[in-house]
Amino acid sequence: MSQRTLQIKALTVETQRQGQRVKLVDNLSLSVERGKVLALVGPSGSGKSLTCAASLDVLPPGTWRKAGVISIDGEVRSPSSLRGREVAVILQNPRSAFNPVRTMCSHAYETLHAIGADLPGWQERAAMAMIAAGLSEPQRIFDLYPFEMSGGMLQRMMIALALMSEAPFLFADEPTTDLDLIVQRDILDLLERLKQERGLGILLVTHDMGVVARLAEQVAVIDSGRIVEAAAVSDLFLRPVHPTTRQLIDAHLSLYGMEWAA
Ligand SMILES: Nc1ncnc2c1ncn2[C@@H]1O[C@H](COP(=O)(O)OP(=O)(O)OP(=O)(O)O)[C@@H](O)[C@H]1O
Ligand SMILES: [Mg+2]
């Protein structure tokens, strides 16, 4: 494994509201290690998706990166150069990630072309990634346009494209939101395998503390664009310090009819 650590340092994202600049992500720093999962958790609207987007230069219109540096093993990299090559990405809203006038085959080709892997046999490679992501009929799906696919199928296709890229890092923004429980479990199993077998370093955005407990080694809690707590998973569940963290864990425990042990 050549690359070991991806660091986001002092990231600030702004927008303009009523003539005033407002910070949506505020001086945020994170570190993602190969072979490990860092979970980024926090309330809705706290800046999780913008953190991922700003780190890869895919911010939505009306927002911009005011400050911040992304580096791999200490070497500063331009966010746009990381996308697809060093960092595969699973976005929160799968439909927005696909070009509506291009088939899945064309999307797969583009992904492989971007990394110079559009060699003879590329379709088999694409089909294998699609099967691994739970799309069992790749030849049929190759011919489909985004509007012919369900949200869950598009989510799995995005995961397949991420697998095809063979990037050492993955930013997964709510990767299982649109999926039924069985597929959710399969995707989480797949991420765990990729972490172990390929040494993938994963930044996992999720609301689900059950997913955090299962997959992550480290957790960062974000609220109003700032990291308010960062800890190893076991410490965070046993000794949450910040009120936002306690709320997230309370909500998780009450969902399963459980209470704090102490
Ligand atoms: N294009 C935009 N223009 C202006 N403000 C935006 C834009 N996109 C997001 N925001 C604001 O930035 C903040 C953070 O949004 P973000 O999408 O990162 O939240 P999130 O933590 O991913 O939430 P969720 O859990 O609901 O996905 C929110 O207050 C949101 O309203
Ligand atoms: Mg989001």
What is the number of the ligand 1 atom nearest to the C-alpha of 51? 18
* Cβ atoms of residues 85 and 115 within 8 Å: yes
Q: Give the distance from CA 145 to its chain's centroid.
A: 24
* Cβ atoms of residues 30 and 8 within 8 Å: yes
CA terminus-to-terminus distance, the chain: 42
- Of 16-25, 98-107, 170-179, 220-229, the one with minimum mean pLDDT is 170-179
Ligand 1, atom 27, lies closest to the CA of 44
> Does the CB atom of residue 50 touch ligand 1 within 6 A?
yes
Quote the number of domains for the chain: 1
- Which distant-in-sequence residues (6+ apart) come within 8 Å of 106 by Cβ? 99
Residue 260's pLDDT is: 61
- Which distant-in-sequence residues (6+ apart) come within 8 Å of 85 by Cβ? 114, 115, 165, 167
Residue 60 lies in a domain: no
- Choose the residue to mutate in 40, 46, 209 for probing ligand 1, maximizing ligand atoms within 8 Å of C-beta: 46
* Residue appearing with tokens 């219109």: 61
Q: Give the distance from CA 214 to its chain's centroid.
A: 16
- Who wins on pLDDT, 233 or 186? 233
Residue 39 lies in a domain: no
Distance CA 170, CA 168 (A): 7
Residue 26 lies in a domain: no
Q: Which of 236, 203, 247 is nearest to 42 (CA)?
A: 247
> Does the CB atom of residue 48 touch ligand 1 within 6 A?
yes
> Does the CB atom of residue 206 touch ligand 1 within 6 A?
no
What pLDDT digit, counting tens, does each position of 191-204 carry? 898 899 889 999 99
pLDDT surpassing 70 at residue 1: no
> Does the CB atom of residue 22 touch ligand 1 within 6 A?
no
Residue 84's pLDDT is: 80
Residue 9 lies in a domain: no
Q: How far is the CA of 49 from the centre of ligand 2 (A)?
A: 4
Instruction: Quote the radius of gyration of the chain (alpha carbons, Å).
Output: 18
Q: Which domain holds residue 113?
A: 103-165
Q: Which of 167, 128, 132, 134 is nearest to 149 (CA)?
A: 134
Residue 2 lies in a domain: no
- Which distant-in-sequence residues (6+ apart) come within 8 Å of 49 by Cβ? 91, 92, 173, 205
Distance CA 193, CA 59 (A): 30
Residue 89 lies in a domain: no
Residue 65 lies in a domain: no
- Choose the residue to mutate in 48, 92, 208 for probing ligand 1, maximizing ligand atoms within 8 Å of C-beta: 48
Residue 182's pLDDT is: 82
Residue 150 lies in a domain: yes
pLDDT surpassing 80 at residue 154: yes
Residue 229's pLDDT is: 97
Q: How far is the CA of 44 from the centre of ligand 1 (A)?
A: 8
What pLDDT digit, counting tens, does each position of 237-260 carry? 999 999 999 999 988 888 776 666
> Does the CB atom of residue 45 touch ligand 1 within 6 A?
yes
Distance CA 9, CA 204 (A): 18
Q: How far is the CA of 60 from the centre of ligand 1 (A)?
A: 9
Alpha helices of the chain — where are they, by DSSP H? 48-55, 79-82, 104-114, 122-132, 138-142, 151-165, 181-197, 209-215, 233-238, 243-255
